[in-house]
Structure 1
Amino acid sequence: MKQITVLWIDDEIDLLKPHLLFLEGKGYRVITAANGNDALKYVSARENIDIIFLDEQMPGKSGLEVLNELKRLVPAIPVVMITKSEEENIMNQAIGAKIADYLIKPVNPNQILLTIKKNLEHRQLISEKVTADYRTEFNRLGTTIRNASHWREWADIYRRIVYWEMQIDSGGEEMKEILSFQKAEANKEFARYIKSVYLSWFSQNNDKPVLSPSLMRQYLFPLMEKNPQRHHVFLLIDNLRYDHWCVLSEILSGFCRIEQNDLYFSILPTTTQYARNALFAGLMPLEIDKLIPNLWTDEDDSEEESKNTHEEQLLQMQMTRLGLKVPVHYEKILNEKSAKKLVDSFSNYSNIPLLVVVYNFMDALSHARTTVGMLRELAGDEAAYRSLIQSWFRHSQLLELIKTCLHHERTVMITTDHGSVRVLNPVKVIGDRETSANLRYKTGRNLNYNPREVFAIRKPADAHLPSLSLTSSYIFATCADFLVYPNNYNHYASFYRNTFQHGGISLEEMIVPVALLLPK
């Protein structure tokens, strides 16, 4: 392990001999300087310095003057200011110059040791603690996964897995690999659970989670009725996984109160065409097809964009059925330019109680990662993908839009229609020309597959899904599988492996966030 070098700058350095001996006894290398000029010579000479302790009151150049030169020469090295003074303006100047810490004399050796650990060994210490905590949790979580038999248990399991993913993101590869195996085990058991209970969720009296068609009835409309004087925003971010929401919420917590942070279940197929249309209509896809066939687009429509062109009408019809006579403005955001336009014109909607915004960037990013090699390299795994989303969100018009909504004293309900899963394992299926193209599910008349590798629904009406013909069926990939035709199998298996897809059965696709933000 590399020896840490400390530069200590103080005009009374001889009086600090006990502190210096204490640090050397702990294995640190200590360089001293009695004034700012000597210290700057050490730094200019490229001494391998890891942290600097700087006295604020010295003859000649003051501590603040030396601090400014240090930050210009070595901006990445943490500088800890030590002073007798507690004057607010000195503290403000030091903090403004981006000091790492601030200590008031007299300081004891343990304070110095703690400061070094906090600034240089902080990440390693946290990683060690997280690793130890996860080792303790591993067996408990494994037992819960194996015994889970209720949707509430699965929602809790997924929360716990995502919590550990977020904790271990900056940790060692060994722990990441172990957690990845445990998540794969969870997805295997979750798929088995969904196969056994999914169709029963459509029985009238069965205990079931909130599903796509009931989301607005369970969350949005009761909120509007409870707060009729308040204006609201319903923000649907397409393809927002729960772990991605956790990344966004860390940033948002600085601007608002997150009043509600729930999970609901997307219907199958976990795609925009099915799940989002069901969400806005308040109906399952089969009911949309039967009751308002002109607003349902079949699988054989080749234009992907045309499968969600009626969301505003579906929402208006749902609200009319429920007797909700509230003016609504619907907006679909396809890029940053249209988002900025909405932000800039937001005051135009001050008299409209409900704004419904569909934000499509996350889904576009997922698809772009599949086709753009550089993006796939930048977001090579789950942790890197979360980091990319975090970086984008900090500088996005989406964040500006949310801030604007809160500034206008609107509540903001954030949710999604489905998530996505990183696929790794190709599974061979055979279908005719009319079979759907999605990699995580297929629907068609002549599907040939291994029933042990998929979840098959031979009677689509049982799952409230429309059929292209009397003999149509649906099959769904589970876990990290994706469905590939035999023709040119190796090419497509290689091309789509390690991409994010949706439509099938996994924790990441089906269990998705719904949250309520309030102004602070």
Structure 2
Amino acid sequence: MFRILIVEDDAELRQLFVRVLVKNAYTTVEAADGEQALEVLNRETVDLIISDIMMPGVDGYQLVASLREAGYSIPILMITAADSFTNMKKGFSLGTDDYMVKPVNVDEMLLRIQALLRRARMISERKQTIGSTVLNYDAMTVAYDNHHIALPLKEFQLLYKLVSHSGHIFTRQQIMDDIWGIDSYADPHTVEVHIGRLREKFKDNPDFAIVTIRGVGYKAVQQR
């Protein structure tokens, strides 16, 4: 499931975007301005950002510039009330991927989001590669060398999450929220159990290892 960060100081509009995106099977994270967005990105991973331009504090332009300077390649859809070529040009020059003018047609927004994710090779391929290992999301299979392993849903989603952001540390709570859901009543040790199963199944895999960061969480590390 793709996670989208909505950066908008208008709470009513922000909630509209949330409802539309959740209805269309996206997970959402919210921020009221660019500063909050940067704080979110320091602790969470997202697949796409929808950002207003005119916001108090750190505005949309500053947010985009900061992210691109920091090396983030996350697709960014800029939304603004200012319908001018100058504003559009500035946004694109800073690293915005697409641009919409308010009032926003949410059906068009969904199409643009899908296009941006396809461009990021996330929807069209639904695959992740680490070394010679290929994870196929649609088939929930992992292939490497002469091995072809089909995984249960939760195990695959957990491995896919780790491998998709190799080197990034995910806390147990982040994993629980993303894989089992925020309202899940799953046992707190569920993550450890699934990590153990994955390690056993891929103990001979030469491409990656799942590393425990004591007291923090887990990450996948590429080995070749």
What's the TM-score, normalizing by structure 1? Answer: 0.23
1:77 aligns with 2:74: yes
Q: 2:96 is matched with which residue? A: 99
Q: 1:28 to 1:65 in 2, by over 3 A?
A: same
Contact conserved, 1:19 with 1:108, CA < 8 A, in 2? no
The DSSP-based 3-state class of the residue aligned with 2:89 is helix
Q: Tell me which moved more, 116-125 or 71-80.
A: 116-125
Q: Counterparts of 1:99 and 1:29 in 2: how far apart (Å)?
A: 21
Pairwise CA distance, 1:124: 6.8
The 5 A counterparts of 1:107-126 are: 107-122=104-119, 123=121
- CA-to-aligned-CA distance 1:240-259 (integer Å, 9 cap, x gap): xxxxxxxxxxxxxxxxxxxx
- CA-to-aligned-CA distance 1:44-72 (integer Å, 9 cap, x gap): 22x12000011011112221111111212
Percentage of identical aligned residues: 29
Q: Counterparts of 2:69 and 2:34 in 1: how far apart (Å)?
A: 14
List alignment gaps of at least 5 residues for structure 1: 129-520
The 5 A counterparts of 1:36-55 are: 36-45=34-43, 47-55=44-52
**Which of 23, 26, 29 does residue 24 from structure 2 map onto?**
26
Aligned length: 125
The DSSP-based 3-state class of the residue aligned with 1:121 is helix
List alignment gaps of at least 5 residues for structure 2: 127-224
The 5 A counterparts of 1:413-432 are: none
Aligned residue type for 1:109: V
Structure with greater contact order relative to length (CA < 8 Å, sep ≥ 6): 1
Q: 2:7 is matched with which residue? A: 9
- CA-to-aligned-CA distance 1:190-211 (integer Å, 9 cap, x gap): xxxxxxxxxxxxxxxxxxxxxx
Q: Counterparts of 1:97 and 1:83 in 2: how far apart (Å)?
A: 15
Pairwise CA distance, 1:40: 0.5
Q: Counterparts of 1:20 and 1:73 in 2: how far apart (Å)?
A: 27
- CA-to-aligned-CA distance 1:72-131 (integer Å, 9 cap, x gap): 234210111100112222211111112110111111221221111101135577679xxx
Q: Counterparts of 1:109 and 1:16 in 2: how far apart (Å)?
A: 12
Q: 2:141 is matched with which residue? A: none
4+ runs deviating over 4 angstroms: 122-128
Aligned residue type for 1:24: V
Q: Counterparts of 1:30 and 1:42 in 2: how far apart (Å)?
A: 12
Aligned residue type for 1:8: I
Q: Counterparts of 2:41 and 2:80 in 1: how far apart (Å)?
A: 21
Give the number of the structure whose residues are more often strand, by fraction: 2
What's the TM-score, normalizing by structure 2? Answer: 0.51
1:89 aligns with 2:89: no
Q: Say which one has the larger Rg.
A: 1
Pairwise CA distance, 1:35: 1.0
Pairwise CA distance, 1:22: 1.7
The 5 A counterparts of 1:152-301 are: none
Aligned residue type for 2:23: G
| C-alpha RMSD over aligned residues | 2.1
Aligned residue type for 2:91: A
Contact conserved, 1:54 with 1:79, CA < 8 A, in 2? yes
